[in-house]
Chain A
Amino acid sequence: MSVAAAGGRGETLFLDFFYLLRRAGLPVSSREWLTFVEALAKGLVAADLYRFYALARATLVKDEKHYDLFDQCFTHFFAGAKPPKAFEKALDQWLADPLPVPQLSEEELAALEQYDLDELRRMFEERMAEQNERHDGGSRWIGTGGTSPFGHSGQNPAGVRVGGSGGGRRAVQVAAKRRFREYRSDVVLETRQMSLALRKLRRLGRDGRRTEVDIDQTIDATARNAGDIDVVMAPPRENRLKVLLLMDVGGSMDPFARLVSRLFSAAHQASHFREFHAFYFHNCIYDKVYRDALMLDGMSTLEMMRWLQPETRVIVVGDAHMAPYELTATYGAIDYWQQNEITGLSWLQRVAAHFTHRAWLNPIAKRWWTHPTIDAISDVFPMFELTLEGLDDAVEHLAG
């Protein structure tokens, strides 16, 4: 394809490319498109496709998390290639945080034993071609914790384990390398991205040490002082938000330990909170919460509520997935030493009644939230998925 020839006619020639990008979900606006066309019209790029690629990317893409998608579209459009088949690394990422294994009956297991290896391989390739996002649970796609024959941590006696490593420069080749895959927002949730989401959690107000000159007040005071200068200081604008993080550890939360620890370090690093407190609990909140994950250093839940003001933002992280009696029965706590006279649900309601802004982050994907205890808890705590999107929504809900 000769790019040089495109010069002035770029508008129509590449319009399909524009719509391909939009269909693929890239937020390219017409203003950006015009910028791109303007650059072409200025006679840039000559015959060098690599420079053309660089020009298109610089004008059309405004966030590195979209680089990967752009690269795939570029390869698809200009090399006629299918979106690249080299999915191994992305797969590793999908599979990094497995869900708990569902318990299958004998009949279900038998039903899954029907495939032989060649058939599996053929189906695997087909699905790789179709699938383009992470998948947990379910019985068809490649993912974790499901009953599909593909993926890991699932139960399928005849399944193919996906994991380990596999094999895989000019413009199209560069684009095809998919170097920016790790910046996609829907695949990984890194500490850094979490801190970014948490940074939106703020409310500015003037409070504390008076370190700034308040000009209006100074002029006013000086005038009253018959022209002799009277400098008035005011405190700078600062974030006033206090944050309480409550984390479920152990048991069914073990598979998510890494994800939760990332959230903890993100929140801990976020130096912009006025106060930040973190406590641990197991399964459900009862009469005590703990300062350490080993649950040795306890504090009574009532004392915690007395100590923290109602406007403290509460973020609970947990799967809310437990046996119903652990939530609704007295003495139902999973740990024998936690002799709770008040049910877990009442404790949660007490905490909810004390704090005005609260959110529950659940690492289980939303489509799995059909469990009775998840339902009951989400009535008390607004529940969000522990993904970048869910975290954004939760932060928006908390900031209000």
Chain B
Amino acid sequence: MFANFTGTAEYIASIELQEAVNVALALQRPLLVKGEPGTGKTLLAEAVAQSLDRPLFTWHVKSTSRAQDGLYVYDAVQRLHDSRFEDRDVDDIRQYIRFGGLGRAFINPDPSVVLIDEIDKADLEFPNDLLHELDRMSFTVLETGDVHRAAHRPLVIITSNNEKELPDAFLRRCIFHFIAFPDEELMARIVRVHHPDVRETLVQEAIARFYWLRTLPDLRKRPSTSELIDWIGALVKGGVDPEALADRVPYLGTLIKKEQDLDTLARFEARRRR
């Protein structure tokens, strides 16, 4: 039967997300997670690792990353450098092989969780280069000829911010989940996790105000969950009266990060007052 992921005390997962994780676990396929920034894509891997009691290996992809980097990097320059001195045995190539997140997960003798974070940051061909290793769950270190094969297939969680389209061949192998922006009910539960002691009226007023902000047309960057949580923290520290939220938005800088958006909001408010 299925190992069951149902979220954790800190991480609240929708039924669709739970199901996606469980299918990925059962079928041993990579799970691709997309969603607006700030919807908890990266946190998901931590929550899954915690709830399954498995170690988590992470690999943060950068614009210069190559697929190979996630498996291992051969530090030729260090070896070359060491060759000038006598204190290390440069014949032992293995000490110059550094394993990446994916490589370490394959080597790990127990089942693990690997997070490949922001795969869309890298080159367009990057996901395709990974296919072979993800399918076979093994890789060869060319410099030493060592073959590393995963004893247990790790659960691979891949996040994407939608900056680039991913190749079809890659998508076909993945289980996919899109984290939709939480509705008000789910948002209230998420806020409760982070601010358990805050007065109910403040949470309700703040959430109402937050969703109102998000509905404004023409905002270049709409505030996200993590910004709401910071904002409520600021409201509590500042001792803001919930009633006051209906009229104005204190500490607006925690929610709106772009100057044009502040202008848009000011214009909107001015029109409303008239």
Interface positions of A (Cβ within 8 A of B) = 27, 29, 31-32, 35, 38-39, 42-44, 50-51, 53-55, 57-59, 61-64, 67, 179-180, 183, 191-192, 196, 199-200, 213, 215, 218-219, 222, 227-229, 231, 236-237, 265
Contact = CB atoms under 8 A, between A and B. Distances in A.
A31 B20 contact: no
28 contacts: A31-B173, A38-B27, A39-B26, A39-B27, A44-B22, A50-B15, A51-B15, A54-B18, A57-B16, A58-B20, A58-B177, A62-B32, A62-B172, A62-B174, A62-B176, A64-B178, A179-B180, A191-B220, A196-B165, A199-B164, A213-B77, A215-B76, A218-B80, A222-B80, A228-B84, A229-B81, A231-B77, A237-B64
Given A54-B16, A62-B172, A196-B163, A215 B77 contact: yes
A179 B34 CA distance: 16
A281 to B, nearest CB: 24
A43 B81 contact: no
Contact of B16 (A43, A58, A215, A231): A58
A58 B23 contact: yes
Given A44-B2, A50-B15, A55-B19, A32 B172 contact: yes
A58 B172 contact: no
Nearest to B31: A58
B162 interface: yes
A42 B29 CA distance: 14
B188 interface: no
A40 to B, nearest CB: 10
A58 B220 contact: no
B5 to A, nearest CB: 12
Contacts, number: 86
Contact of A42 (B2, B165, B174, B176): B2
A192 B162 contact: yes
B80 A199 contact: no
Q: Give the secondary structure class of A's interface.
A: helix
Contacts of B141: none
Given A39-B26, A42-B2, A44-B26, A59 B162 contact: no
Contacts of A35: 27, 29, 175
A206 B20 CA distance: 41
Q: Which 6 A-B pairs have the closest CB atoms?
A: A54-B19, A64-B178, A58-B20, A62-B171, A54-B16, A62-B176
Given A51-B15, A196-B163, A31 B76 contact: no
A236 B62 CA distance: 13
A192 to B, nearest CB: 7
Nearest to A35: B27
B142 interface: no
Contacts of A63: 171, 176
A72 B34 CA distance: 21
Given A35-B29, A54-B19, A62-B172, 15 more contacts: A39-B27, A42-B2, A42-B26, A42-B27, A54-B18, A58-B177, A62-B171, A63-B171, A64-B34, A183-B178, A192-B162, A213-B77, A218-B80, A219-B76, A231-B77
A176 to B, nearest CB: 15
Given A35-B27, A196-B165, A43 B15 contact: no
Contacts of B24: 58
Nearest to A44: B2
Contact of A229 (B84, B172, B177): B84
